[in-house]
Structures are given as C-alpha cells and as structure tokens.
Structure 1
C-alpha cells in the first residue's frame, strides 16, 4: 500500500531538514494521490527534476511505494520552470516540492 501524497511530502521535508538542508512545498496537490515532482536545487545553480516513474519501472515482486525518475538533469532553472508549467497544465492536482541538497542520498527512490 502506498503512502498518501500528503504524508510522503511531509516525511520528505522532515528528512531533508533533519539532514540540515532546506525543503519547501511550492505547490500543494491532491492529498490522497496527487503526482509528486521534486525539484532539487544544486549549489552551482543547476537543478534536477524528478517525476513519478512510469508503471513499467516497478518490479511486481516488490512493494510498489513511490518511485521517481530523473526528468531533467543539471539544467537551468528556466528549463525546470517550463517543464513544471507543462505538468501543472496537464495535472492541476500535482505536488511540487523543492529541496536544496547536494546529494539526495536515500531521501527517495529513483528508477534505473
């Protein structure tokens, strides 16, 4: 069983702060099952955008928790803004979370 989006986001933000870094909810989506996009800001000014991984990335034998994929890797903020604007038009119930960490470590699972 997958955690509600609201609970997942809350736990993610708490874990980032515990690590001494910064996180914020930029857009609050549907509490139950809104898609979550994570915007990672890096020290050198570039960003990484993570979005929900497609169903084909899930292993049927494992717990299907939240799994993300890299949508954009080390690009400028404007490119991320454009991509997120497109996502919000497609899915107005999505969440956008910003984290400022150099290494995401084990904060969330990424496919591939």
Structure 2
C-alpha cells in the first residue's frame, strides 16, 4: 500500500472533518422519529488543503497520485493530523484541485476519507 509523501503537508487553514455513521431516519405516524446507525465505524471525510514547496514536489505528487493511487482511487497509509494515528485513507472521488502558486509554493484542495478516526 502506498504511503502519503512526507513533502506534502496538510495545513490547518480550511481543515474540516465530518463523521458519517450512515444514520437512517424513519418518520413515525405518531411520536418521535426512529433512528439507527448503519455503520459501527464512521466514514470520516476531511476537507484538506495540502501544500508543497516547489514545482518539482507538485509534479512528484501528481505522479504519485497517478501511478501509486491509480488516479486517486486506491487507498494509502496516512498519519491523521489530529491524533497522529496511522490510518488507511483515500481521496474522495479521486479529485484533487491545484490553485495558483504563491511563488514556489503550490496549494491543492481535496477531501480525504478514512474508516474511523
């Protein structure tokens, strides 16, 4: 399994996290609606901003996504930034968006999902 490159750093600005237990909700004819979780382990989706410090690192990250992640579809080992836990993760829908570079610094936005935290 591929491992997230150390040169690609997650920044705090724009970071967001959402846990989804797949809760099913059924409205009742009378009284309060019933709810139940479909998953015992949540799918956690994180809005992430990643920076690299040069065009060479940008090109290396693009090549890593294309080759090692099969265009973003495959799982990779990633260190979750808040807990420091090593988890299996993938890019949501394989989507990755580069913004305009600020000098030599390139910034990309994506969503990263994991099973559990």
TM-score, structure 1 as length reference: 0.27
More strand by share: 2
Q: Which has the higher contact order (CA 8 A, sep 6+)?
A: 1
After TM superposition, the score normalised by the length of structure 2 is 0.26
Structure 1 or 2, whichever has the larger Rg, is: 2
